[in-house]
Structure 1
């Protein structure tokens, strides 16, 4: 199982600092949507230039103009780009077309999708590299949020998947047991007092 750090900071400088601290322990470096909105795709280029051996994940959460937006991100240095699972099939197919042209990948984010299992199978058939079983920050803050619903959906879908939302040292074993291909840790790493140590502990828990 790969480890992905989701960096939801708001400046390229801060993202580069965290990425530099944790790069040796992670496989994928994700630039979160707030960061890309604040700094633009130059942040993606900066991270890729600093860490050319890592997969760089641009969390665009594209909802329309899939081919165009994915193409822009791939040209900026992204290896993986997100399209929302709620988007029209044509949007996802367009993004996949751009990915194939660049030999890169599209990840379909199922945040807000009620029937994640069915949609996961549909978007995989459209060419998604993998799907992200994702609970956003707002959903995680609600009373009664439970990571197990995401894990169950991933297991039932039987397609390559990542899990994002509540992944931390206490839950990483459950994520791996569910068969996830990628564990996405955000605040558990970048919000830690020692991001490098947090990433190292998560890596060790996986291995």
Structure 2
């Protein structure tokens, strides 16, 4: 499983500083949607230039013109882009086509999809996305009854390649890995930490512990 950090910070300078602190411990650097809106597509190239050995994820959350927006992000240096799982099927297919042409990857973001999520995950996967991000947004996570368990259950049930975003931390990352996720996406647990590098390392170190524990108890 790969570890992805969401650079959910307001400026490119902040993103570059955060990326510098955590890069040794993560596989994927994600430019959050607000960052791309504030700084433009050039921010993608700046992160890629600073960390050419890392995968750069442009969280566009595209809802229309899928091929065009994906083309722009790939041209700027992105290795992966998101298209909304709620978007029209043609929008998703357009982004997938751009990914094929560029030799890059497209992810369907399932944020805001709760009812019928497993069915929609299967539908968008059939459209050709590389994997599906089962995602609870910040507002959903702020609800007092929120847990990551529903995301993990839907990933197991869907039976397609998926990532998990929403409440991934040092305490939950082993469960994400056990559920079969290809990528664990971590945001606030890293960028809100007093020492983001140490927080990223702790999460990296916790990966595989669930599997190891299961093996040891067998």
Q: TM-score, normalised by structure 2?
A: 0.93
Shift, 1:146, TM fit:
1.3
Residue 117 of structure 1: CA displacement? Answer: 1.0
1:158 Cα deviation from its structure 2 partner: 0.6
Correspondence for 2:211: none
How many angstroms does 1:37 deviate by? 0.8
Matches of 1:55 and 1:121 in 2, distance apart?
25
Residue number in structure 1 paired with 2:134: 133
What is the Cα-based RMSD across aligned positions, in Å? 0.7
SS at structure 1 position matched to 2:68? helix
- Tell me how many residue pairs correspond in the alignment: 207
Query: What is residue 91 of structure 1 aligned with on the other side?
Result: 91
* Consecutive unaligned residues in structure 2, runs of 5 or more: 209-218
- 1:143 CA displacement: 1.9
* CA offset digits 1:143-183 (Å, max 9, x no partner): 20111000000010011100000000111111111111100
Greater shift, 169-178 or 7-16, is seen at: 169-178
Q: Please, which moves more after superposition, 111-120 or 33-42?
A: 111-120
1:62 equivalent in alignment to 2:62 = yes
Does residue 146 of the first structure (1) align with residue 144 of the second (2)? no
CA deviations over 1:14-69 (Å, ceiling 9, x no partner): 10011011111101000001111111111111000011111100000000000000
Structure 2 counterparts to residues 1-207 of structure 1, below 5 A? 1-113=1-113, 114-207=115-208
- How far apart are the structure 2 equivalents of 1:115 and 1:152? 13
Any unmatched runs of 5+ in structure 1? none
CA–CA distance in structure 2, aligned partners of residues 75 and 115 of structure 1: 34
**Residue 120 (structure 1) shift:** 1.2
Deviation digits for residues 57-108 of structure 1 (CA, Å, limit 9, x no counterpart): 0000000000000000000000000000000100000000001111001100
Task: Give the Cα–Cα distance (whole angstroms) in 1 for the partners of residues 18 and 80 of structure 2.
Answer: 19
* 3-state SS of paired residue (1:149): helix
Aligned equivalents of 1:32 and 1:69: distance in 2? 15
Which aligned segments of 4 or more residues in structure 1 are displaced greater than 2 angstroms?
A: none
TM-score, reference length from structure 1 = 0.98
Q: Give me the whole-angstrom Cα distance separating, in 2, the residues matched to 1:193 and 1:55.
A: 25
Pair member with larger Rg: 2
